[in-house]
Amino acid sequence: MSTLTATTLVSRHSKTPSSASTTQTLINDDTPSTSRTATPNEHQHDQGVKCPVTGQAHGFCPAQKTDSRSPCPALNALANHGYLPRNGQHIHVGQLIKALREGYNLTLPLASFLAVAACMLLGQFRSISLYDLSRHNLIEHDASVVHADATPGSEYAPTQVMRSLVTRLIRTIGHERTDRMTLDDIANIRVNREAETHVLDKMHAEIARGELTIALGVLGGKSAYEDGADIGAFREWLVEERFPEGWRPDHKQGLWGTYRATRRVDNKMQELRAALAEKKKSVSREGSMCESKDSPAVAKL
Report the pLDDT value the prediction gives residue 210, as an integer from 0 to 100: 97
Domain boundaries, the chain: 19-277
Q: What is the topology classification, in CATH, of domain 19-277?
A: Chloroperoxidase (1.10.489)
DSSP for 204-228 reads HHHHHHHHHHHHHHHHH-TTHHHH-
The answer to whether 130 and 8 have CB atoms below 8 angstroms apart is no
Task: Give dist(CA 275, CA 188) in Å, integer.
Answer: 12
Task: Give dist(CA 270, CA 265) in Å, integer.
Answer: 9
Of residues 274 and 3, more confidently modeled:
274
Residue-wise pLDDT for 188-223, tens only, equals: 999 999 999 999 999 999 999 999 999 999 999 999
* pTM, two decimal places: 0.81
Report the pLDDT value the prediction gives residue 53, as an integer from 0 to 100: 66
| CA angle, residues 209, 143, 102, in degrees to nearest 5 | 45
Q: For the residues 157-185, what does the mean pLDDT come to?
A: 90
Range list of H helices, 86-138:
93-104, 108-122
Q: Which of 30-34, 54-58, 96-100 has the highest mean pLDDT?
A: 96-100
pLDDT of 289 > 70? The answer is: no
